[in-house]
Structure 1
Amino acid sequence: MPPPDSKDRSPWRQLGFVLGIAFTFPAALLVGYGIGWWLDGKLGTKPLFALVFIALGFVAALLELLRELKRLNRE
């Protein structure tokens, strides 16, 4: 494997990766909670769907993290 280019190791690229993760996790959890809260309000099942969709948001964020880590390893 050839050595990585200097642009691949730049602090800006690393900062972008970290900030992407930092925003992905809370965003996925908030979207999951919002969908669950809305469904709970419509169906009267508080807090069932909020908890389910928060868990799904967490799983989605973890899958995105794994996808990004695989992409970084390929580069």
Structure 2
Amino acid sequence: MSEFDDLKSKIELIKKKYKKDKTQTKNNSIGSAFKISTELVAAVFVAIFIGWYIDKWLGTKPIFLIILLLVGIVAGIFNVVRSAKMINKD
């Protein structure tokens, strides 16, 4: 019976370890998704704000806003790709 109890305890330890790893993976995935989406949105909003401020300062209408919006979108996409590569590397 001691061999059976020993085997049972080993199985329980493995089950506990597997459950912890599964939960940690889920939390890491959520964190990574939040980080990536935040980087994209932040790049776009910063670019919009800077473009709006430059247009206000120079008296131009939406010229710099549109230009920097496009730059912000491109920068945000580059940030997302870079972050995704780093996540896949880990």
Taking structure 2 as the reference length, the TM-score comes to: 0.68
Give yes or no for the alignment of 1:38 onto 2:59: no
Pairwise CA RMSD: 1.6
Between the two proteins, the alignment pairs up a number of residues equal to 69
Alpha-carbon deviations, 1:21-60, whole Å to 9, x = none? 2222221111101000000011111100001111111111
Structure 1 runs not aligned, ≥5 long = 1-5
Which structure is higher in helix share?
Answer: 2
> What residue in structure 2 maps to residue 21 of structure 1?
36
- 1:47 aligns with one of 62, 82, 85: 62
Letter in 2 for 1:18: A
Moved over 4 A (4+): none
Q: Distance in 1 between matches of 2:84 and 2:33?
A: 11
Q: Distance in 1 between matches of 2:87 and 2:36?
A: 13
Letter in 2 for 1:61: G
Structure 2 runs not aligned, ≥5 long = 1-20
Q: Distance in 2 between matches of 1:54 and 1:73?
A: 28
